[in-house]
Structure 1
Amino acid sequence: MAFTLEQLRGFVAVADELHFGRAAARLKMTQPPLSRQIQKLERVVGAQLLERDNRRVALTAAGQVFLAEARRLLTLADTAPELARRVSSGSRGVVRIGFTAASTYGTLGRLLNEVGRGLPDIDLDLQEMVTREQVAALLNEEVDLGLARPPFDAETFGSRLLLREALLVAVPTGHRLLDLGRDVVPADLANEPVVMHSPTRARYFYDLVVSMVPVASENAVHTVSQVLTMLWLVAAGRGIAFVPASAARLPIEGVEFVHLQTAVPDPVELHLLWVRESRNPALRHVLDLLAHTGVTF
């Protein structure tokens, strides 16, 4: 047997007024049914909540503790319908975002700030994962929005280009490529040891680099999945690495950058990615906001 919200409201009214008559008038009811409500509530709770006689009404120690919880439960009950309506409309809720590690070099922070300003009642939950993991998580409804690399299945996923940037060559300080005085071309890299992107964990960058610098995979001395790891290996003199221009934001001692000449200007792409049939109403608000603010990433 459980207590009802009416019983809780009756108890709070009596606790506030410390008078059954005034509490009944406040609740627009007569005193006898209010007294019965309190008696039923005490039976359900299993403790005396009020001391009453012909002259006074007072809270017991148990009643004082129960009063605080009763107020909290009534507040939740009163606000729950409005919260449900706001979640249903998408103005309140949670959007779970998957992101690649490289997208944190400026892009992710600006996106979070933009959504935080425009939609302060939507919580953003962050999960770092490579594009392949994001695609699986989106399909399994484990995340709602991705910051991922192409290509994508256009029938299943909606996408929007967020950022296009150059591909740079990260080299150790003092490397000969820094003295060329021009953009690096593939022929300049024929004999260079390369810290290479993983063909499985970083497939997008692997395919992109191999298509532009065919010798890169042949010269690989290490294969890793994260750009930050690449830069530390470059700083240690293990080889050169091909990284997005945003990686130059990372101040790692012993690493410098030169521009790689590519057939396609700014070939590195980062996209917003979502499932077209997503059932999260808050996601649509986030997408609409980012589409209309004109924010530059």
Structure 2
Amino acid sequence: MFEISQLRCFVAVAEELHFSRAAERLNMTQPPLSRQIRLLEHHVGARLLERNSRTVRLTAAGKAFFPEAARILRIAEEATFTARRAAKGEQGTLAIGFTSASGYSLLPEVVRRLRERAPGVSLNLKELVSTAQVEALNSGELDLGLMRPHTINGELESRPLLTEPLMLAVHADDADRWPLAPTLADLHGRPFVMYSPYEARPFYQMLSERFARAGVVPDVVEHIGQVHTMLALVRAGVGAALIAAGAANLKFDGIVMREMATEPVEMICTFRRDNENPVLRLFLREVLPTFHR
């Protein structure tokens, strides 16, 4: 079977119709160029070029072979380019899990910055609660998870993405009964829509710990796993709720948002240490640092 180098020699001669110019173009001398052409003709089983002391021309077989040879060279070059891009993480697929809260502001920004750096990357996006993301990361279904801080096993690694304020969501008719800069203490004994300890475990644990440290005991009326459902209950007058600022982009008429005078909450990205997906490595190396500038 012929080699790519032989095709490259033939195409150069066919385009130049001059051995000397073709050899110069390929940065080689004429004798090895002639040998490559003879080897190619041997593999093809037909004479491709006719030459004398003054001219070089394509035979009928050479004319038929030339466009196909040029096409094979283009395919080989494209394959090489594609492989190099894939090795750099500039081409391929990244499976990203995200919580509903991160889907309102963080996920679009992650996608935008990744596509700016590697527009050839395909994304597989899955909305999952944090616990389900951890399971999917462990099973290899996800490359990257966007979630709240949580307890992880030794095979997973987490890195901070950003922090955002906590927002108090209250019914508009009750807004005057709340301070402009509320604290956790303002929630003591008041109807409160809490996160589910199962579907939204990281946020549930974080708020439970903060309430315990502050000696605050809200009147928990519901445990909910999804932010949009919590806000629907706030709008229905069931109670107040605490959400991350990014989720405040989910607009509900009849709800007033107020920034809490308390420490912000963190969003992290989690991945398997042994995941060698080049796209993940590109994200960690070049996209993640842009969130900390």
Does TM, scored on the shorter chain, surpass 0.5? yes
1:112 deviates by 5.0
1:116 deviates by 6.0
1:270 maps to which of 263, 267, 272: 267
Q: Which amino acid aligns with 1:180?
A: W
Question: Cα distance 1:73–1:164, how it changes in 2: closer, same or farther (>3 A)?
Answer: closer
Q: Residue 215 of structure 1 aligns with which residue?
A: 219
1:4 deviates by 2.7
1:206 maps to which of 186, 204, 207: 204
Question: Cα distance 1:3–1:134, how it changes in 2: closer, same or farther (>3 A)?
Answer: farther
Q: Residue 40 of structure 1 aligns with which residue?
A: 43
Q: Which amino acid aligns with 2:68?
A: F
Question: Cα distance 1:242–1:92, how it changes in 2: closer, same or farther (>3 A)?
Answer: same
Structure 1 CA distance, aligned partners of 2:66 and 2:80? 21
Deviations 1:85-139 (CA, angstroms, capped at 9, x unpaired): x83xx5756555433231234334445555666x558947352332223222332
Structure 2 CA distance, aligned partners of 1:49 and 1:239? 87
Q: Bigger CA drift: 236-245 or 97-106?
A: 236-245
Deviations 1:114-166 (CA, angstroms, capped at 9, x unpaired): 5666x558947352332223222332334333322222236333323333444
Q: Residue 106 of structure 2 aligns with which residue?
A: 107
Question: Cα distance 1:21–1:38, how it changes in 2: closer, same or farther (>3 A)?
Answer: farther
Q: Which amino acid aligns with 2:250?
A: L
Q: Residue 132 of structure 1 aligns with which residue?
A: 131
Q: Residue 179 of structure 2 aligns with which residue?
A: 181
Is the 8 Å Cα contact of residues 99 and 126 (structure 1) preserved in structure 2?
no
Q: Residue 242 of structure 1 aligns with which residue?
A: 242
SS class of match (1:153): coil
Structure 1 CA distance, aligned partners of 2:131 and 2:79? 42
Percent of aligned positions that are identical: 32
Written as runs of structure 1 = structure 2, the 5 A alignment for 1:1-12 is 3-12=2-11
SS class of match (1:168): strand
Is the 8 Å Cα contact of residues 4 and 73 (structure 2) preserved in structure 1?
no
2:292 maps to which of 266, 291, 295: 295
Q: Residue 70 of structure 1 aligns with which residue?
A: 72
1:278 deviates by 3.8
SS class of match (2:142): coil
Structure 2 CA distance, aligned partners of 1:271 and 1:33? 57
Q: Bigger CA drift: 176-185 or 57-66?
A: 57-66
Structure 2 CA distance, aligned partners of 1:38 and 1:232? 76
Q: Which amino acid aligns with 2:187?
A: P
For the aligned residue pairs, the C-alpha RMSD in angstroms reads: 4.4
1:79 deviates by 4.4
Q: Which amino acid aligns with 1:4?
A: E
Q: Give the alignment's TM-score, normalised by structure 2.
A: 0.67
Q: Residue 214 of structure 2 aligns with which residue?
A: none
Is the 8 Å Cα contact of residues 160 and 271 (structure 1) preserved in structure 2?
yes
Question: Cα distance 1:102–1:58, how it changes in 2: closer, same or farther (>3 A)?
Answer: farther
SS class of match (1:101): coil
Deviations 1:218-256 (CA, angstroms, capped at 9, x unpaired): x22xx6533234435544666644322222233333322
Is the 8 Å Cα contact of residues 21 and 31 (structure 1) preserved in structure 2?
no
Q: Residue 171 of structure 1 aligns with which residue?
A: 170
Is the 8 Å Cα contact of residues 11 and 70 (structure 2) preserved in structure 1?
no
**Structure 2 stretches of 5 or more lacking a match?**
212-216
Question: Cα distance 1:149–1:246, how it changes in 2: closer, same or farther (>3 A)?
Answer: same
Please tell me whether residue 149 in structure 1 is matched to residue 148 in structure 2.
Answer: yes
SS class of match (1:155): coil
Structure 1 CA distance, aligned partners of 2:255 and 2:17? 74
Structure 2 CA distance, aligned partners of 1:162 and 1:277? 20
Deviations 1:150-191 (CA, angstroms, capped at 9, x unpaired): 2223633332333344433323332x244333527233524x
Is the 8 Å Cα contact of residues 18 and 58 (structure 1) preserved in structure 2?
no
Structure 1 CA distance, aligned partners of 2:16 and 2:155? 60
SS class of match (1:272): strand
Question: Cα distance 1:170–1:22, how it changes in 2: closer, same or farther (>3 A)?
Answer: same
